[in-house]
Amino acid sequence: MKEDDSGIRALKDMMNGTLEVKKENILAETLVREDWMSKPAEEMNDDEKIKLREYEIKEQKQNEEKEKIRKNLENELKKLRGEIQEICLKFDEKLSLFLKKKLEFDQRVGEQQLQIIKLSCAIMQQRDSKVRNNRLLERAAQHELELGQKKSLKERLQAMRDQYETDYRANQENFNSALDQRQKNLGLFLI
């Protein structure tokens, strides 16, 4: 069945087994100018003149084909350069758009980071404030305790003063009365 496949056989027969048309490269063809073609036209015979004329026609056709190919290649080059420039412009536009988006997202990320920093600072300030407040409360309690102790000491001191004054007056009165008594006794004794 494979041997009698008409499609494959036709492809082989007509196009040498490929679907692509191969263009003969005219640039690869080289026309060789023979030495006898360099001699003057008067010295050539008719057969040489015909061959020279055929050679010149082939050379002219080859030059025309080369010129066509060159122009086609130049046009294709211009077209490709235009396409490349258009692709580069589109790429630059997309890159610019992505850059703008990246900058926008970087800005948003920066704003979020700034918000996080502000919240962290607020939390740290609140903690510091609580610590300071607790220290002040401890100092106030200690101060109250010291004030209480001072009042207690003042009261004890006042009580001791009052006791001392009371004892002093009592002793003074006893002393004065003892002195008076002695003076009386002495006065009686002297009398």
CA atoms within 13 A on the CB side of 26: 13
Predicted confidence at residue 188, as pLDDT, reads: 63
Predicted confidence at residue 190, as pLDDT, reads: 57
Helix (H, G, I), strand (E, B) or coil at 17: coil
Q: Residue 181 falls within a domain, yes or no?
A: no
Predicted confidence at residue 52, as pLDDT, reads: 78
pTM score of the predicted model? 0.42
Domain that holds residue 32: 6-170
Tokens of 113: 């980071």
DSSP string, 77-144: HHHHHHHHHHHHHHHHHHHHHHHHHHHHHHHHHHHHHHHHHHHHHHHHHHHHHHHHHHHHHHHHHHHH
Q: Residue 179 falls within a domain, yes or no?
A: no
Q: Residue 91 falls within a domain, yes or no?
A: yes
pLDDT tens for the chain, 191 residues long, are 556 667 776 666 666 655 555 555 555 566 666 767 677 777 777 887 788 788 888 888 888 888 888 899 899 999 999 999 999 999 999 999 999 999 999 999 999 999 999 999 999 999 999 999 999 999 999 999 999 999 999 999 999 999 998 988 888 888 888 888 877 777 666 55
Predicted confidence at residue 39, as pLDDT, reads: 74
Q: Residue 53 falls within a domain, yes or no?
A: yes
Q: Residue 188 falls within a domain, yes or no?
A: no
Tally of domains within the chain: 1
Query: What's the rounded Cα separation, in Å, for the pair 41 and 48?
Result: 9
Q: Residue 189 falls within a domain, yes or no?
A: no
CB-CB contact of 21 with 15 (8 Å):
yes
Q: Residue 191 falls within a domain, yes or no?
A: no
Closest to 33 (Cα-Cα) out of 16, 5, 56, 12: 56
